[in-house]
Structure 1
């Protein structure tokens, strides 16, 4: 039925219904997501609900398997089977099939992905459960009390289930048996028979190709940025595959069996290289065999730098994820199946680099070549990729922030549409309202045909009485001489007869008012406790002006709000928004069927308009999204009832209605209308100061009143460090005012462009130097990394989060480009962390 089950780390099991277009939580699994160090420090990491898969005979037995970090003091990950009936997990059917003991002192690496082979054997990945903080090379710390830093006790331990791919056969009673053909025969001393693959670090994705018998997985590697003569190779991520059990090297080898040194962590001295032909595990944390199977090389490997062997993979951060091998025979009856060109190609993708690549294999499954798939499509940290039963590609995107509720997290379906494609039509006008005569320049710029067919353009304007007037050319101009509401329709047809249509609505006869806001002082930022002087004004051809005319100043609705940051969706500061004009939406709404389901302040079938206004801010993205929903219909946001579609409604009218509804929120922000001219003193908090001024004119007979709103936004003077242009070796992570903090590893710089420095006397840097970071220096320069030096801040070692000030030698009014240059001693430990840059006013 094309429903999609997916999970969230904190325990939610969710179901997307493509018919209802709704997503619902069908179960909440109690999970552990925290680590607690021996010192009592609690941290959030990768544990939680980790994997989900349906049984091969799901249509008959309705079995669903989950792998998760069990809640409670007993540190273990569990494989659990449930019955899944009528879109619900049957709690009483829960059967714990397998337990994997873990440590919860130090993060990370969980694995948890599952798949079945053609014999209905279940493959389960488990991570090495080992901290990578002590070294970016081989974590093999054998000192007493350091077992969470020693992957020899997990990945290289034949008697431990961590750092493995397990192969078991689920039985009807909720137990499992071990099939023949795993790495260690049943009864082998100091070896778990469930192990199929060992010696892996963070196998975060898996796929079993039932056609070829090959198992594929993506393995996220360590963090070292360069080779070390005493420790071993730089870090590599790997795409691996096998059709036989084996040892894949971790923590002794990386990539194509490049050996790490055996290091004495008490002295830092190398004791020689590990031997891939005869690897030995002599760690005191090892409870298994000392002699391990010969190490197998990676299938595809790559580091931060450009790969000589696989250059298509690119450069930068790494998180290797493997998808399925595509087989045309699996989707013979589907009209959306991919072209046969993709038959037998492996799909791989990258969580950090945000690409999907197809790998061409020969008849024996060996590597031949690779190429980007949909290189023009943007993905936001793709987390999983599968083919649906109809051949559609489903991609689960995590979103840009780490450990965050990301606005760009989403489930995407990609369908291949064969044959001729309709033109993609863009219809625009330089104005859609105004007084007579109203000269409108129509444009089809941006219209394209993806098959490169020649196109025929046809513009038709329909008068209020229904008379159709064809216009000539792709971008015609028309002058409206009579008042009324007109429709301008652009039809674009290709040479094969496929056509697409777009409509604009033009309301001629009423000149829209012009509303303006002027702010004195800094044009981009407000400073807590420092008064902001503003002046709002309005000019309307028919009604007059405010202030200074006959109209009451109260007719110009002025409001000021101060709100917190909204993650990544802040508007650019120091800019006047919404100075465009649009026809009052209330009249359009009253003429439609909206009132059958909605009321201003009370819920009928749908939500009250005030509830909608409180949920969604009056911002362009929301206007676009909600107006599309008015036209297409929707479900799931406010309950189970569907919202009726309005395909006949012009997009302009839908937007006008949405703007009217969302403006209800602004009307309730301040109990009384402010004076057009005044002073406002912001509170001492971060966020956005929004000044709005709006005017609705009196209209003219036959034409609804026109409404114009101007919005001026000032941000607090706190700049997230990651908000600038980063040039250098940085690691971006965490959240700070909706943005990410920056770990400065080596010399580099961050550019902040068009920063208004009016009244600014200096900067405050929020920095820290935890762990082994050594500190460094921040130079504030004008325009570029080698520009005029404005000041210097020295960052010492051992700093908890602290504020370091720099005073400017003189005032620099207006917008400037500021470059922060970072310097320090060359080290593998990094310089410092920088969270925010705050402007300080006189």
Structure 2
């Protein structure tokens, strides 16, 4: 084995591993778990330790050591450690960074010695992070007891990546994670800038350096006198030249949260990956985060490899010339910033790896920003006699979590410790950027939530615990009303539909109707009703709440309420296309529309002028926006219901639903610039929408100093454009988005690629002293360029395949007499359909065929068909899937019909036909 005590796993994993996500066949019901908030509005909480008496010691990045008491239910600051949180470059510019008070854990013998370990960036001129030990006496951290066990030299010129997590194994060995201390700002790929003076941009000085403690997970054995010894089994035997014996694993970027399985000794960690949104030929792969497992010491590849050992290419940053692809079996560090060995241990692949877009290998990871972190492994034997131990189902499972995606995973293993299954844990429970997890003595799972934004005291930062209930559960109540607002008298059907008792107990129902302005009677009627689904008539105007309380046979109760407003009828809004196609828009061609509004109290929409008792056109909001398929569909499904998109704008709503707030705020700087500053900078840039939306999707940096935009390939071009359009309006807060006329024409932009969403809404004036009501109508007109992968249904023999970061799946036609179907298309005015179809013979053995256009059914009226589409004989990989274009003139048709594209080739046998990509409708 030579010098390297690495795990004997495959060195390379060029292909995708099998999907290891399986259904929860025997897991406990999610409703048996309850989230209990212990403390909130914390100031950048990072790591915690649960004391034997259930007190919780946790740290905040700016140096505060906090202690939560379950007795007083209060948080007390027991110490403030002087820390450095800023970086200063050679020009003297200071930036807030990730440094500070980073890690905390208790000594395994804490009950006897009361020792607490802290890892932090000490204030002062010396650029270093230190591992220290203190004594905790009662509620006091004795600062005079400080002992420094270990110093990690760092640079404080450029951010980022600190690591800082602490854990222990059963043998009393302490594990400490450290980040690569390298700026990611110069490149979205491998930071290997070897130019003089550029060491902060070269991770070969740290992660790839066998003689440096950064970019590692260290393993030491603390001694009673404040020193440490080196346990057997680390990566480099003590005395090996150009190495540090403390190193257990190397090749890490930012292993921010680690965990050691106390039973197996296996080490787990999440490594937060780089920012590239796509593969780049001759440069490197799409960025990925990693969940890793180390059964033994080893090298995990950074900065030469990512994920399952996907390799980067060497680069001369002086000339820009690209070199050879790095070899995971024989990585070599020849950087002038390297003080260690040139020949490195073989690289080990990650256990789980995933990009910002959907992972074909690990689809359970979802999409979005990435920050992988590792939590504890649960063993029931560790909680004998505990009040609320987790169920046996989780015995031996490791809890991993995702900071950006607010999700927790439970991972199962076979007898050899190999991953066999991964599942979501409590997918319905909401978290706000979980940053640490630990089990307490009573069996509860404690979770520390950092909150929404970086470097802030977030309102949604919390210390919580998750309790498991193995006994009787209270009922789960659902309430609804057939109408929540209207004129009086108003008869309301109250419903308890969906209410259930998870244990099957008999339930009793009690409704109480209160006036929200006081009193327990509503219109002179009784306030208490005992039917599950009663009807109640509100006689007097007012705001009310109807509360349903359900009690099970054991006396456990649950309540829910619904608000009712009697005395103000919501307005009715109608939006109609008065001329032309009602399913599609055609860029550059006007759409005639009309809005109608009626309100029982306000009257109807006036044509013009101020008519008493009537609604003025200027009081009606009409907007047009372009959204991608999913966003447009959500808007359409809202129907007459009020949508915030009408008043806020589609871009603001899309942004609120994304992860933008993790790095940006409207009017103050976070990790990224304030949106107001972005708007001011690009206010006069005609290309801002195109360039910034492209940066949102693909990622990028350099425009705002160190700030890097993480890639968001899951966003479509139209949605990204709407977000940018909204941001650009913030340069002048007084400028409101104008409303369209209530009747007229709207001409779609020739450059838009999304679906056109028309929205009309009216907010009434209120009545009888009651608040205003808002109603809305939404119409969605599709872009006439239609990906066939967005069809509503597909017959057997048609395969949908998700390819890379494409927003829609592609269609592969595997047999003749198959079809894809679209619901209710208005074909009025449509004259031609232009198909883009690939017939890749070399890759797919495709034989070609034709496409028939039918309405109402696969054998319904034939509107037209393509000519025979012949196989592409090219063997050039760049041309294999290049589609050919064929245009069909169709029989004129009016009205809405289900549309079928039927694929034919009677001679195909068992061969695939082709890959139809899009169809373009023209009038």
* TM-score interval, normalised by the smaller of the two chains: 0.5 to 0.7
The change in CA–CA distance for 1:734 and 1:807 in structure 2 (over 3 A counts) is: closer
Shift of 1:93: 0.3
Task: Pick closer, same or farther for the CA change 1:214–1:768 going to 2, 3 Å.
Answer: closer
Distance in 2 separating the partners of 1:478 and 1:234: 59
In the alignment of these two chains, the number of paired residues is: 588
Choose the corresponding residue for 1:400, options 452, 457, 467.
452
Comparing 239-248 with 116-125, greater Cα deviation is found at 239-248
User: 2: CA distance between counterparts of 1:117 and 1:794?
Assistant: 49
2:432 maps to 1:380: yes
Contact 2:476–2:558 (CA under 8 A) maintained in structure 1 = no
Give the CA deviation at 1:476: 3.3
User: Equivalent of 2:125, from 53, 64, 73?
Assistant: 73
Find the residue that maps to 2:335 and give its secondary structure: coil
SS in 2 for 1:60: helix
1:476 paired residue among 514, 531, 534: 534
1:338 is aligned to 2:374: no
| Contact 1:729/1:747 (8 A) holds in 2 | no
Q: Unaligned 5+ residue runs, structure 1?
A: 515-572, 576-716, 751-766, 776-783, 796-800, 824-842
The corresponding residue for 1:286 is 338
Query: CA separation in 2, counterparts of 1:431 and 1:806?
Result: 37
Q: Is the 8 A contact 1:491 1:499 kept in 2?
A: no
Distance in 1 separating the partners of 2:233 and 2:205: 24
- Contact 2:185–2:708 at 8 Å: present in 1 too? no
Whether 1:149 aligns to 2:201 is: yes
- Counterparts of 1:220-235 in structure 2, within 5 Å, are 220-235=272-287
Whole-Å separation in 2 of the counterparts to 1:253 and 1:66: 31
Q: Secondary structure of 2:557's partner?
A: strand
Equivalence for 2:664: 734
Alignment of 1:178-577 (within 5 A): 178-425=230-477, 443=494, 445=496, 448-449=499-500, 451=502, 453=504, 455-459=506-510, 471-476=529-534, 492-494=550-552, 497-500=554-557
Contact 1:749-1:821 within 8 A present in 2 as well: no
Please list every run of 5 or more consecutive structure 2 residues that lacks an aligned counterpart in the other structure. Answer: 1-52, 514-518, 569-618, 622-646, 679-687, 695-700, 710-716, 754-923
| CA positional deviation for 1:811 | 7.3
* TM-score of the pair, normalised by structure 2: 0.56
Q: 2:211 aligns with which of 147, 156, 159?
A: 159
The CA RMSD measured in Å over matched residues stands at 5.0
Matches within 5 A, 1:649-798: 724-725=654-655, 733-737=663-667, 741=674, 769-770=703-704
1:397 & 1:94 partners in 2: Cα distance? 28
1:95 deviates by 0.8
Deviation at 1:56, TM superposition (A): 0.2
Q: CA deviation at 1:452?
A: 6.9
Shift of 1:731: 9.2
SS in 2 for 1:115: strand
Structure 1 or 2: larger strand share? Answer: 1
Distance 2:219 2:247 in 1: 6
TM alignment of 1:600-639, pairs within 5 A? none
Whole-angstrom distance in 2 between the partners of 1:167 and 1:809: 58
Report the CA distance shift for 1:481/1:369 in structure 2 as closer, same or farther (over 3 A). Answer: closer
- Distance (Å, rounded) in 2 between the aligned partners of 1:323 and 1:187: 33
DSSP 3-state at the match of 1:734 = coil
Give the superposition deviation at 1:7: 0.9
Higher mean C-alpha displacement, 92-101 vs 438-447: 438-447
Report if the CA contact (8 A) 2:185-2:707 is conserved. Answer: no
For residue 735 of structure 1, report the CA deviation from its aligned partner. Answer: 2.4
Following TM superposition, by how much is the alpha carbon of 1:749 offset from its aligned partner in structure 2, in angstroms?
A: 6.1
- Which deviates more, 471-480 or 402-411? 471-480
- Encode CA deviations 1:483-516: one digit per residue, 9 max, x unaligned: xxx999965244x54541659999xxxx9999xx
Q: 1:469 to 1:107 in 2, by over 3 A?
A: closer
C-alpha separation between the residues in 1 aligned to 2:476 and 2:747?
A: 39
- Write the deviation string for residues 276-317 of structure 1: whole angstroms up to 9, x where unpaired: 122111110011111111111111111122222211111221
Paired with 1:276 and 1:20, the residues of 2 have a C-alpha distance of 54
Q: Which residue in 2 is equivalent to 1:31?
A: 83
State the partner residue of 2:598.
Answer: none
Alpha-carbon distance in 1 for matches of 2:752, 2:151: 48
1:3 aligns with 2:62: no
Secondary structure of the 2:430 match is coil
Deviation at 1:217, TM superposition (A): 0.7
Match of 1:602 in 2: none
Aligned to 2:151: 99
